[in-house]
């Protein structure tokens, strides 16, 4: 596997990992909880999700031939009137992620070294994906944190639960018979 193939496989893995974290948070919450905000000036999980999907659709639709900031995108409206049901919200989420994954699939040896534009600035494929991975990771982190705040003690950890690291490490490093 060459470097570009390795990179594309890895970047897809990382995006899928964050997608899964968001979905595992959604599973724990009701539609009402997805719309909860700590204060009037804060975003709910539903609003963050709508923004993420809007960003993904703008960045990755025809990304090899068009600027990643589309004229049809109205970013400010992404922070208003999110879908009211959990099912609608998940459809918006899926639409954004599918656009991103199709973009990754469109990259190959013949275009890996291409430059693309985001807001009029040139980016290599690697720069563009890394930029968006950081952006999406920060928002998925917000989604998870809000989910933890909402659920409190009822929250099911998405990684190693607090206080269980030692048991995890013992199992990880347990000697297996040769």
Q: How many domains in the chain?
A: 1
Do the domain assignments include residue 98?
yes
For 61-124, where are the alpha helices, taking DSSP H only? 86-106
Q: What does the alpha-carbon distance between residue 4 and residue 1 come to, in Å, rounded to a whole number?
A: 8
> In this structure, which long-range contacts are made by residues 11-18, counting pairs with CB atoms below 8 Å and at least 24 apart in sequence?
11/104, 11/129, 11/130, 11/133, 12/101, 12/104, 14/133, 15/97, 15/100, 15/101, 15/104, 15/133, 15/136, 18/133, 18/136, 18/137, 18/140
- Domain with 7 in it: what CATH number? 1.20.120.450
pLDDT at 1 > cutoff 90: no
**103-108 mean pLDDT:** 96
Do the domain assignments include residue 178?
no
Do the domain assignments include residue 68?
yes
Do the domain assignments include residue 41?
yes
- List, for residues 118-140, the tens digit of each pLDDT value: 999 999 999 999 999 999 999 99
Do the domain assignments include residue 43?
yes
Do the domain assignments include residue 108?
yes
Q: What are phi and psi of 106, to 5 degrees?
A: -75, -15
Distance from the Cα of residue 8 to its chain's centroid: 16
**91-98 mean pLDDT:** 98
Q: How many helices (H) and strands (E) does the chain have?
A: 6, 2
63 is in which domain, residue-wise?
A: 3-172
Q: State the pTM of this model.
A: 0.89
């Amino acid at each position: 596997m060459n470097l570009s193939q390795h990179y594309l496989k890895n970047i897809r893995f990382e995006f899928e990992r964050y997608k899964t974290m968001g979905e595992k948070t959604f599973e724990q919450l009701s539609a009402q909880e997805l719309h909860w905000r700590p204060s009037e000036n804060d975003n709910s999980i539903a609003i963050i999700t709508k923004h993420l999907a809007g960003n993904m659709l703008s960045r990755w639709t025809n990304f090899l031939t068009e600027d990643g900031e589309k004229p049809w995108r109205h970013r400010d409206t992404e922070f208003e009137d999110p879908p009211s049901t959990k099912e609608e919200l998940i459809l918006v989420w899926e639409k954004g992620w599918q656009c991103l994954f199709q973009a990754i699939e469109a990259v190959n040896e013949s275009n890996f070294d291409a430059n693309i534009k985001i807001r009029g600035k040139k980016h290599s494929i690697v720069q563009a994906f890394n930029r968006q991975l950081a952006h999406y990771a920060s928002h998925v982190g917000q989604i998870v944190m809000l989910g933890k705040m909402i659920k409190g003690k009822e929250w099911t950890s998405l990684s190693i639960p607090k206080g269980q690291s030692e048991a995890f490490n013992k199992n990880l490093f347990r000697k297996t018979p040769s």
